[in-house]
Structure 1
Amino acid sequence: MKNEELLHVGSRKSFDTQEIVMLEAQENYTKIHLVSGKIFMSSTTLGKIELRLKGNPYFFRTHRTFLVNLNYVTAYKEKSIEVENNRNVTLSRRRKERFQSIFKSLNS
């Protein structure tokens, strides 16, 4: 799996989407979790970031709080997904079936 593009947040920050493990909503802010383990805070909402990543098939909204890069999913269970750095994120019931379908197609 590959995804080559930059995600621009704010007026001065941009991130290579390949370096983003997941994004986490915190009210009107978003935590950007990178492969390196670093976490950046952005004043851009998760909804706006999701719109910017709309054309990228590797990012999936698992829950109202999380947007994950499918390249870094290491396991998934009934109600959660594990991503690199041993982080667990919630998988909502109504998004579970779609997640399984997309994840399966990207890994075949």
Structure 2
Amino acid sequence: MEKLRAIIVDDEANARQALTNLLQIVCPEVEISGQAKNVDSALDLIHLQRPNLVFLDIQMPGKSGFDLLACFEKIDFGVIFTTAYQEYAVRAFRVSAIDYLLKPIDPDELQAAVEKYKSQATSITPQQVTILQENIQNPKTSSLKQRLRNNHQRIALPTAEGIHIVQMNDIIQCESLGSYTKFHLTHHKVIVVSRLLKEYEEILDNYYFFRVHQSNIINLEHIKRYVKGDGGQVWMSDGAEIEVSRRRKDDFLALLSDFYVNSGKIV
């Protein structure tokens, strides 16, 4: 069995030891090459050991896990964040397409994260880290003006070819293709991601997107016209005509009205 060289960066000794013990049990192919309790010692350890994978705590006294990654012009190792953040942090990690483990770490989730790294063997990009930082302290909001500001942030879309960094307001709609989601972007660009539309419904809940139908999530910024009907129909900026589910109609029209009020656009 080929070994994966890994290091653990966490300011809490108990947390480092607990993760080491778990890895020995559920991921024996992972060899811990060292541990660090702060960013400065982690930086030295990474340069010395050249690990394949770094388990990285976000919140540490002094410098954070983000500060560590900012030291690298190119991040040529895999990163799995370990964090005590809850709730809204999950959305932030999904938006940035970065793997994470919530403390206390679940053995099955740890094993799944390591298997995912082994199957993809990809490092993360500085842009993904920036997206995570932008979203990590951005809680789920009912503020419609905040949603509008959020719509000008970015999302990382993982594909077989690599990570695509996309502006939220360049997404026209997301279309379900079974276990895949097809992103329709401006300039007729298309990106297909191996994730369910349901996952992106949860991710985009903090933005001006709405799931108008079982198969479609749309960006309200790209609606050109709403045509009344049983559920109705929206005409999008790329010429797509999308049905609105009858049971979603009232919620959709309420959000659309709020969007126009907050954006200053005319219906």
TM-score (norm 1): 0.90
Which protein, 1 or 2, shows the higher relative CO under an 8 Å CA cutoff with sep ≥ 6?
1
The one-letter amino acid paired with 1:42 is V
Identical positions, percent: 25
Residue 234 of structure 2 is aligned to residue 81 of structure 1: yes
2:163 is the alignment partner of 1:15: no
Aligned residues: 107
CA deviations on 1:72-104 (whole Å, 9 max, x unpaired) are: 001112221111111011100011111111111
Q: Does 1:103 align with 2:256?
A: yes
- Compare CA radii of gyration and give the structure with the larger one: 2
Aligned residue for 1:4, secondary structure, equals coil
Match of 2:206, SS state, is coil
- Does the alignment pair 1:6 with 2:154? yes
Give the Cα–Cα distance (whole angstroms) in 1 for the partners of residues 154 and 200 of structure 2: 12
RMSD over equivalenced CA pairs, Å:
1.4
1:27 matched to 2:175? The reply is no
- Superposed CA deviations along residues 2-21 of structure 1, whole A, max 9, x for unmatched, are 51222223262331101100
Q: Name the CA distance, whole Å, in 2 between partners of 1:44 and 1:13.
A: 14
Question: In structure 2, what is the Cα distance between the partners aligned to 1:96 and 1:102?
Answer: 10
Which structure shows the bigger proportion of residues in strand conformation?
Answer: 1
Distance apart, 1:30 and its partner CA: 0.8
| TM-score in terms of structure 2 length | 0.38
Show structure 1 runs of 5+ residues with no match.
none
Q: Which ranges of 4 or more aligned residues in structure 1 deviate by more than 3 Å?
A: none
Q: By percentage of residues, which structure has more helix?
A: 2
